[in-house]
Structure 1
Amino acid sequence: MAVVNSRRVAALVWALCAVMAVASSVLLVLGPGRPVESDVFGGVGGAAFLMLSLAFATVGTIVATRLPGNPIGWLFCALGLFIGATVLAWVYADYGLHATSERLPGAAAAASFPGEAGAALLGFALLLFPDGRLPSRRWRPAAYVLALAAALLLVTDLLRPGPLDDPFAMVSNRLGIPGARSVMDALNNVGWALVVVGIVLAAGSLLVRLRRARGVERQQLELVLAVGVVVATVVVLDMGSWLLWPDGELQVRMAVMGVSFAAFPIAAGVAILRYRLYDIDVVVNRTLVYVTLTVLLAAAYGVTTLILGTALGRGSAWTTAGATLAAAVAFRPLRARVQGAVDRRFNRARYDAQRRIAEFLNDLRAGRAAPEAIEALLRELVGDPTLELRFLLPESQLCVDAGGVPVDDLPDDRQRTMIQRAGAPVGIVVHQPARPDERDLLPRLVEAGGLAIEIARLRVELRRQLAEVQASRARIVAAGDEERRRIERDLHDGAQQRLVSIGLAMRHAQHELGDGSPGLAGKTLDAAVEELSVAIQELRELARGLPPAQLDAGLAPALEELAGRAPLPVEVRAVPERLPCGVEAAAYFIACEGLTNAVKHAHASKVVLSAAQDNGTLVVSVADDGIGGAGRGRGSGLSGLSDRVVAQGGTLAIESEPGKGTTLTAELPCGS
């Protein structure tokens, strides 16, 4: 309900100002019909102050509607009403007293309207800007000064006796106190002096706020102070013209004053409502830089022209050319110095940040700093501890961090600022979104520190290339070692086991000869010779890095052939499907090792070989009914067998309780 009432009151104020502006415009068009001396609110002067009235009323209405708790909106509304009423009273009195043969009703009273007291309201608006509160209790005396000034001006306007000032000197103040004119004039002067003191104090309060303000509030104050300085300069010069030129073009001078003052409520409204407020830093900075630069270059041009004109003659074309050349040569160094001076005075944080970057680059050139330290420095300068530098490597088309680790995904909740050198992208800064008033700081720092960033990128790329060379060398050595171990395992699990089997067969033949069975011994020796031929072929194949020839027909036939050569019964249970060559070779050698251990160490009477697929895994098992107690002793065949299984990405399990036989189970990924 309060918000609705605020909107209605604000809308009513604006409507009243609009009605007064329309009425005043009509009277301005009609005019008194002849020139009137000291008619400051006639013609363009009155029109300018009508615009000022509407400016205060419009901004005040918007602020009061959106921020009803901020009294500045209501102060602006009051100022709009007061200025509008003052202009309307003036132009009505002007028309009613000078344009007709008889005075219009109320014209004399309108001429006595106390319009001076409104000046103090402007000081109150400055004192309360931007949040509608005093900076602190210590500023209450400034508010008292302004209140006293408003009271003195109001009282003296109402009670000063005698004729009014021009152009209404024919009217006497009916409310004036007889004999008190000198006192009222003195009090009026005191009131104006207090207005000036109050406005100066209010401006000082803005400067005090500015010193401790941060973020948006600082932007608000900078905007109003910048506009206020321009307005104050124009108004002082305009009012000072009355001292040098008391008569003539009064309406024009009033128009300049009214238009200048209209900039203040507009700037204050923009600041309070925060509309595109973040641009004020750029506007103020560049305005100061280029205005100062223009003045200095103009001065340099003038001095050069004077010197060359004296030496070469005023009409010489060389004078103009020389002065222009001097101004052009001085532009860049002069702009840099002016920019530095403005930043040092009005944007100390950015100035200090850029100075730190410059000092870091000097240390980098002198070898006192590493280029990678630019990342930590940027974090400190922008106040973002999560900031990261990502480098773009053109050779590999990768995006890597400062450690050279590839980074594929960039977080969506963070901002990215591209880094370019000579038009080519060299990196990305990943950081938290900057506040509006700081959004141009990081690009400036990145541009200033581009050399360090480029060097850091080159060093990261060089480290990656060196690491790749070292890794490739390591892979070559590892591949050689792996090949040596493979041959060692293949010899142990394949050809060596055949030779052991041949030795056992020959020992068996020896026993047969001793038992008087030369026929059986001959057959055993013939089988041993055939086995020796196979072993020789295997050695040749292993030397060429090829799997055993028994695997040409598949794992199941190879295991059947292996079981047929064993000196004890072997049951085979194997899948008929073909598997990858490496998997089949590993499974075959696992079976060879398990079978050899069963014959040589377990004293088994029976062995079961099995190879079955289970969810993309080949499970190879060698189970015997021997004495058990097998283990992975260092240098044993089972230890090498475990390495072979691990090399294939598999696992090996050994179950060998004493007296309960041994079961080797290997699980090998087979991808099917």
Structure 2
Amino acid sequence: MKVGLKQLGISFDSYAAFWMAALVTLVVVFVGMGAIIFWRKPDDRAALYFSLTLVVFGTIWPNTLGTLANIHPVLSLLVTGLESFGLIAFFVLFYLFPNAQFVPRWTRFVAATFIVSTALATFFPGSLVDIENWPPPLNLLGTVEIAFFFGTMIYAQIYRYRRVSGAVERQQTKWVVSALLVAIVSFIGTGTLEGLPVFNQPGILAALFALSSSIGYGFAFMLVPITIGIAVLRYRLWDIDLIINRALVYGALTACIVGIYVLVVGYLGALLRTD
């Protein structure tokens, strides 16, 4: 990494400053959008929940308060409580969005299970109540648990969209789900590309990948609070259909270009190693 940055003429301190600026921007977007929702809809209980969720989650992620707790251990319990609340509120939001009601009704019991599981794991990390701390293969239950919760969150939104929501609520769902899909694809794509040898060799390519992936992933995750704000405030809701159509076209073209690039670079690298 340092070798590639040096070849690009970028100091490691400059890269660290860039990372810090990106994190601060992400926090400002989360907290700022939460504040705007609160300012515009102070009498709407659903909006207040979404506002509080964005503010708290933006404050705790990525581990901003954890660093503060390390410096001042007396704040550890308060920080742990905020982290637990922020994680719970953010993910339960997808059982409740857009009208703060559990649809289907059984999701309230799933949400309650998620709340208990997350709170126990947060307050007692590394203990018996933390599934990820269980010995193999029992620790795989943690992966199953996460897949179950995410699957039910997605199902709840699909069920709500197809059977319950009106025209406005469907547009609200489109905005938020589209942003979530972009964030998930960005996360999976970045993780997949990181595993390729071509991006793990010291040099310019690895440095460029680190810079571009951090920008791309940060921008993708930043879309989540922005789209929640658009959906809650109902600002230009029907623009999402045109955006989705264009995104599908440009996304497919980008995926093709990246795929061809990776194949060509990988093939040339293998050919040179053979020679």
Q: CA deviation at 1:264?
A: 0.5
Partner of 1:634: none
Tell me how far apart the structure 1 counterparts of residues 160 and 95 of structure 2 sit (CA, whole Å): 10
1:141 aligned residue (74, 95, 109): 109
Identity %: 22
Could you report, residue by residue, the CA deviation over 1:345-401 in whole angstroms, capped at 9, with x for unpaired residues?
xxxxxxxxxxxxxxxxxxxxxxxxxxxxxxxxxxxxxxxxxxxxxxxxxxxxxxxxx
1:230 aligned residue (178, 182, 188): 182
Aligned amino acid, residue 144 of structure 1: A
2:217 aligned residue (224, 246, 257): 257
Tell me how far apart the structure 2 counterparts of residues 155 and 191 of structure 1 sit (CA, whole Å): 16
* Bigger strand share: 1
| Structure 2 CA distance for partners of 1:108 and 1:255, relative to 1, 3 Å | farther
| Structure 2 CA distance for partners of 1:68 and 1:74, relative to 1, 3 Å | farther
Q: CA deviation at 1:156?
A: 3.9
Tell me how far apart the structure 2 counterparts of residues 129 and 145 of structure 1 sit (CA, whole Å): 18
Could you report, residue by residue, the CA deviation over 1:629-661 in whole angstroms, capped at 9, with x for unpaired residues?
xxxxxxxxxxxxxxxxxxxxxxxxxxxxxxxxx
1:416-565 equivalence runs, <5 A: none
2:133 aligned residue (182, 185, 203): 185
Tell me how far apart the structure 2 counterparts of residues 258 and 209 of structure 1 sit (CA, whole Å): 29
Q: CA deviation at 1:273?
A: 0.5
Partner of 1:13: none
Whether the aligned pair in 1 keeps the contact of 2:104 and 2:160 (CA below 8 Å) is no
Helix, strand or coil at the partner of 1:63: helix
| Structure 2 CA distance for partners of 1:181 and 1:206, relative to 1, 3 Å | closer
Q: CA deviation at 1:269?
A: 0.7
Helix, strand or coil at the partner of 1:136: coil
Helix, strand or coil at the partner of 2:106: helix
Whether the aligned pair in 2 keeps the contact of 1:53 and 1:81 (CA below 8 Å) is yes
* Bigger helix share: 2
Tell me how far apart the structure 2 counterparts of residues 182 and 278 of structure 1 sit (CA, whole Å): 43
**1:54 has 2:28 as partner:** yes
Could you report, residue by residue, the CA deviation over 1:31-80 in whole angstroms, capped at 9, with x for unpaired residues?
xxx989xxxxx544443333222222122222233154112222222212
Stretches of structure 1 that go unaligned for 5 or more consecutive residues are: 1-33, 37-41, 94-104, 161-176, 303-672
| Structure 2 CA distance for partners of 1:259 and 1:116, relative to 1, 3 Å | farther
| Structure 2 CA distance for partners of 1:35 and 1:72, relative to 1, 3 Å | same
TM-score, normalised to structure 2's length? Answer: 0.64
Tell me how far apart the structure 1 counterparts of residues 124 and 140 of structure 2 sit (CA, whole Å): 10
Tell me how far apart the structure 2 counterparts of residues 60 and 217 of structure 1 sit (CA, whole Å): 20
Partner of 2:166: 214
Helix, strand or coil at the partner of 1:130: coil
**1:194 has 2:145 as partner:** yes
Partner of 2:119: 151
Partner of 2:156: 205
TM-score, normalised to structure 1's length? Answer: 0.29
Q: CA deviation at 1:135?
A: 1.4
For the aligned residues, what is the CA RMSD? 4.2
Helix, strand or coil at the partner of 1:137: coil
1:630-645 equivalence runs, <5 A: none
Q: How many residues align?
A: 227
Tell me how far apart the structure 2 counterparts of residues 235 and 293 of structure 1 sit (CA, whole Å): 17
Q: CA deviation at 1:196?
A: 4.1
Tell me how far apart the structure 1 counterparts of residues 171 and 113 of structure 2 sit (CA, whole Å): 28
Higher relative contact order (CA 8 A, sep 6+): 2
1:337-486 equivalence runs, <5 A: none
Whether the aligned pair in 1 keeps the contact of 2:120 and 2:130 (CA below 8 Å) is no
Q: Is the radius of gyration larger for structure 1 or structure 2? A: 1
1:69 aligned residue (20, 45, 56): 45
1:126 aligned residue (88, 91, 94): 94
Helix, strand or coil at the partner of 2:149: helix
**1:272 has 2:220 as partner:** no
Aligned amino acid, residue 169 of structure 2: E
**1:87 has 2:64 as partner:** yes
Q: CA deviation at 1:275?
A: 0.4
| Structure 2 CA distance for partners of 1:45 and 1:149, relative to 1, 3 Å | farther
Tell me how far apart the structure 1 counterparts of residues 115 and 143 of structure 2 sit (CA, whole Å): 12
Q: CA deviation at 1:126?
A: 1.5
Q: CA deviation at 1:231?
A: 1.5
Tell me how far apart the structure 2 counterparts of residues 54 and 82 of structure 1 sit (CA, whole Å): 12
| Structure 2 CA distance for partners of 1:181 and 1:194, relative to 1, 3 Å | closer
| Structure 2 CA distance for partners of 1:50 and 1:190, relative to 1, 3 Å | farther
Tell me how far apart the structure 2 counterparts of residues 182 and 74 of structure 1 sit (CA, whole Å): 27
Whether the aligned pair in 2 keeps the contact of 1:148 and 1:191 (CA below 8 Å) is no
| Structure 2 CA distance for partners of 1:92 and 1:106, relative to 1, 3 Å | closer
**1:106 has 2:72 as partner:** yes
Could you report, residue by residue, the CA deviation over 1:298-352 in whole angstroms, capped at 9, with x for unpaired residues?
89xx9xxxxxxxxxxxxxxxxxxxxxxxxxxxxxxxxxxxxxxxxxxxxxxxxxx
Q: CA deviation at 1:205?
A: 1.2
Q: CA deviation at 1:147?
A: 1.1
Stretches of structure 2 that go unaligned for 5 or more consecutive residues are: 1-10, 201-205, 261-275
| Structure 2 CA distance for partners of 1:251 and 1:293, relative to 1, 3 Å | closer
Whether the aligned pair in 2 keeps the contact of 1:145 and 1:198 (CA below 8 Å) is no
| Structure 2 CA distance for partners of 1:60 and 1:181, relative to 1, 3 Å | closer
Whether the aligned pair in 1 keeps the contact of 2:98 and 2:172 (CA below 8 Å) is yes
Tell me how far apart the structure 1 counterparts of residues 130 and 229 of structure 2 sit (CA, whole Å): 41
| Structure 2 CA distance for partners of 1:43 and 1:153, relative to 1, 3 Å | farther
Whether the aligned pair in 2 keeps the contact of 1:156 and 1:185 (CA below 8 Å) is no
Whether the aligned pair in 1 keeps the contact of 2:124 and 2:130 (CA below 8 Å) is no
Could you report, residue by residue, the CA deviation over 1:262-294 in whole angstroms, capped at 9, with x for unpaired residues?
111101110111101122222223433x34885
Tell me how far apart the structure 2 counterparts of residues 287 and 255 of structure 1 sit (CA, whole Å): 18
| Structure 2 CA distance for partners of 1:293 and 1:49, relative to 1, 3 Å | closer
Partner of 2:56: 78
| Structure 2 CA distance for partners of 1:188 and 1:264, relative to 1, 3 Å | farther
Partner of 1:164: none
